[in-house]
Amino acid sequence: MKPILEIKNLHAKVGDKEILKGINLTVYPGEIHAIMGPNGAGKSTLANVLAGKPGYEVTEGEILFKGKNLLEMEPHERAQAGLFLGFQYPVEIPGVSMINFMKAAVDAKRQAEGKEPMSPGEFLKFYREKMKETGLPEKLQKRNVNEGFSGGEKKRNEIFQMALLQPDLAVLDETDSGLDIDALKAVAEGVRKLHTPENAQLIITHYQRLLDYIKPDYVHVMYDGKIVKSGGPELAEKLEKEGYKWLMEISMNNE
């Protein structure tokens, strides 16, 4: 089986500051990887570099996405190729309706795949189906993109978009932050439902609690721009109990 994602010795900086200092990570179809780590470890930077957010400069290393050089692709091309980023802070876009936004997104992806755009009727059916599946309240769909959504609603909306776009790789950046327990459960359930043997998920989180609801196959701990430890789900439990301090010590000893 070929990997969906291969990150090799990735270094990246913002301005003059090096944030990622040699990341190595391989993700195969069907896998769920969790990336944990303290604030400032570079977790969100990794997510943004994967999605191609402007302002980050890759200085060394490479990223292959389904065998292709991801770093040569524009952000929208990465998305069309099947990479989805669930945002930590989804922005509001006044005046742009959710349904028009998602129709444009789905059609862009279809076009990249050489398919015809969906007819409005066909799309509406698909859209409603996914709304039901992800349990997104109907009232939110009448609004503009993220406009007037609560924190929890914004995150659920991210999962809803993921359901519509059916990515090969979903990178969820602190999707659990700022959620109460009910919203957390709802989001986790949505993510779990969307997982298939063909796709993969990269879940970035500060806390272990999301992993109570989504069982990762692998847990990686990031510290100071590197993955300092990888293991199974038990690693997350250890972190929850003992904090990050022991890891910092490992990291120091390695240098």
Partner 1 sequence: MSQELRDDEKLIDEITSKEYEYGFETEIEMEYFPKGLNEEIIRKISEIRNEPEWVLEFRLKSYRIWKKMKPPKWPHLQLPEIDFQDLIYYARPKNMPKYKSLDEVPEEILETYRKLGIPLEEQKALAGVAVDAVFDSVSVKTTFEEELKKHGIIFCPISEAIRDYPDLVKKYLGTVVPPGDNYYAALNSAVFTDGSFVYIPKGVRAPMELSSYFRINARGTGQFERTLIIAEEGSYVSYLEGCTAPQRDENQLHAAVVELIAKTDAEIKYSTVQNWYPGDSEGKGGIFNFVTKRGLCQGDRSKISWTQVETGSAITWKYPSTVLKGDDSQGEFYSVALTNNFQQADTGTKMIHIGKNTKSLIISKGISAGRSNNTYRGLVEVKPGAENARNFSQCDSMLIGDRCGAHTFPYIEVANPTAIVEHEATTSKISDEQLFYLQQRGIDEETAVGMIVNGYAKDVLTKLPMEFAAEARKLLAISLEGSVG
Handedness of CA 197, 203, 248, 12 (dihedral sign): positive
Which member of 2, 17, 39, 55 binds partner 1 (CB under 8 A)? 55
Q: What is the largest CA-CA distance in the chain?
A: 61
Q: Name which of residues 178 to 207 contact partner 1 (CB under 8 A).
A: none
Q: Contacting partner 1 (CB under 8 A), which of 90, 151, 178, 233?
A: 90
Spatial strand order of the sheet with 68-69 comes to: 17-27, 5-14, 57-65, 68-69
Q: How far is CA 242 from CA 39, 204, 209, 213, 249, in A?
A: 16, 19, 14, 20, 13
161 binds partner 1 (CB under 8 A): yes
* C-alpha span between 46 and 220 (Å, rounded): 13
User: If binding is defined by CB under 8 A, does position 117 make contact with partner 1?
Assistant: no
Cβ atoms of residues 115 and 166 within 8 Å: no
Report how far residue 114's alpha carbon sits from residue 85's, in angstroms, rounded to the nearest whole number.
Answer: 23
Segment contacting partner 1 by CB under 8 A, of 38-46, 60-68, 73-81, 195-203 = 73-81
**Applying CB under 8 A, does 114 fall inside the site for partner 1?**
no
Q: Which stretch binds partner 1 (CB under 8 A): 79-87, 176-184, 195-203, 238-246?
A: 79-87
Site for partner 1 contains 230 (CB under 8 A): no
Kindly state whether residue 91 participates in binding partner 1, applying the rule CB under 8 A: yes
Q: Considering the rule CB under 8 A, would residue 177 count as an interface residue with partner 1?
A: no
Residues that bind partner 1 (CB under 8 A): 15, 51-55, 57, 74-76, 78-80, 84-85, 87, 90-91, 93-96, 100-102, 104-105, 108-109, 112, 144-145, 161, 165
